[in-house]
Amino acid sequence: MATLLVAKLYTPDQFGLFTLFTVLVTVFMAPSTGRYEYAVMLPDKDEEAYDLVRLSRRFCLAFSLAAGLLAWLVGPTLADRFGHPELARLLPFLAPFLMGAGFFSILTFWFNRLEAYRLLASSRVVQVSVAALCWVVFGLLRWSAAGLVLGSVLGWVVGSLWLEWALFKRGAPRRQPPRLLEVARHYQSFPLYQAPAGVLKIFSDTGVFFVLGAFFSAADVGQFALAFRALWSPIQVTSQVFGQLVNRELGRRPDRKAFYLRQLAIAVLFMGGLVLPVLLAGPWLFKLVFGPEWGLAGELARWLSLWMVACFAVESVSYSFAAGRANWLLLLWRLAYIAGLAMVFAPVLGQSIETVTRAYTLYGVGAFALLAGLGWWACGRISAPEPPAAVAP
């Protein structure tokens, strides 16, 4: 629904600028909290876990202010060299965006530890609703790309305040004095390893937007972004359902490799059925739903639908790497994927956005097929579950 509203109220050029800014912020978001919030679930005592919350928030505040200062100093020059000087007007939103999204992520982990799932669901609804409402209001006011960015910032900030208010009412298990340096040293692997891994994953997922932004107009980026976003939304929801099933069953089954292949085939058929209308009539559907100016997005979506099927299928069974203690292999694949993008794009840059999208899709399908094969191999490394202990008569 939010994508539909954005397409109706904003032009492809404005949506393209918003996408480029969002991708830039996403890269900064991975290290913005030091990834300390990912350790919140680990301590036995809530007092130590809340020290991690405190540490994460202070890290996020310092990082966001430093990133905002850096954007103010060199942002306009870099935006001009990137070929999109209009981005410079959006860079003042970088620091509040990082703080809002970072605090929201940190408190989400804390309340997840407390199993406050209803609160987490309501906070997500608040965050998305505020952002969508602001997009509509600012779109009607003709605030262009700045309206989209400001709406996103307000969504994250209000969502964070919603969780902060819940934290204030519930109270927190503070220990005095807080042992922030102690927990920082104890969990130093998270900023040292988790944060770079997060940045690498973001680059593998969004690197295409950096390439498109460097060689195509904001309007072309906007067309590609709408096609990508319209297809990506169902993946975010349904891949979690498929992934939870695989996570629960993969380690229990003696026929792990056969189960992996069955789930992979089911995922391909399921997502293939979802995107079949786009594959057959993408341009017509996008013009009908989003407006006549988005016909190119429909043409790009026809090709991207194949990429989405491959991505969804492999993501839904990617737990095999963790279960088989082969995360190192997944990391190597991401590095190779990023390097391969450069080699794929080099021969087609300077051609049309449709040609680049076709090359990106064919490369992605092949890369995900390789990853599926590696995941099948990782299944063989999963330890068999221990048999239940015999009960004495």
Q: Is pLDDT at 251 greater than 70 in this prediction?
A: no
Q: How much of the chain, in percent, has pLDDT values that exceed 70?
A: 92
107 pLDDT above the threshold of 90: yes
pLDDT at 387 over 70: no
Short-list 178, 193, 37, CA closest to 105: 37
* CA distances for 203 relative to 28, 226, 335, 364, angstroms: 11, 19, 9, 14
CA distance 347 to 363: 13
pLDDT tens sequence across 151-180:
999 999 999 999 999 999 988 887 777 788
Tokens of 27: 């890269």
pLDDT score of 391: 44
Has residue 392 got a pLDDT over 60?
A: no
CA distances from 242 to 107, 233, 235, 236, 329 (A): 26, 15, 10, 11, 22
Are 64 and 99 in contact by the 8 Å Cβ rule? The answer is yes
**pLDDT-based confidence at residue 82 (cuts at 50, 70, 90):** confident
Residues 6+ apart with CB under 8 A from 166: 111, 116, 119, 123
Give tens-digit pLDDT for 210-222.
888 888 899 999 9
> What does pLDDT average to over the chain?
86
Between CA 10 and CA 364 the distance in angstroms is: 29
In this prediction, residue 234 has a pLDDT band, given cuts at 50, 70 and 90, of low
**Tell me, what amino acid is at 134?**
C
pLDDT tens string 275-305: 999 999 999 999 998 889 999 999 999 999 9
Instruction: State yes or no: pLDDT of 323 exceeds 80.
Output: no
Q: What is the pLDDT of residues 17-35, one digit of tens each?
A: 999 999 989 888 988 998 8
pLDDT tens-digit map of 188-199? 888 887 788 788
Stretch 319-335: mean pLDDT: 81
pLDDT higher than 90, residue 247: no
Query: Is the model's pLDDT at 242 over the cut of 70?
Result: no
The answer to which of 42-46, 166-170, 204-208, 344-348 has the lowest mean pLDDT is 204-208
Judge whether residue 7 has pLDDT over 70: yes
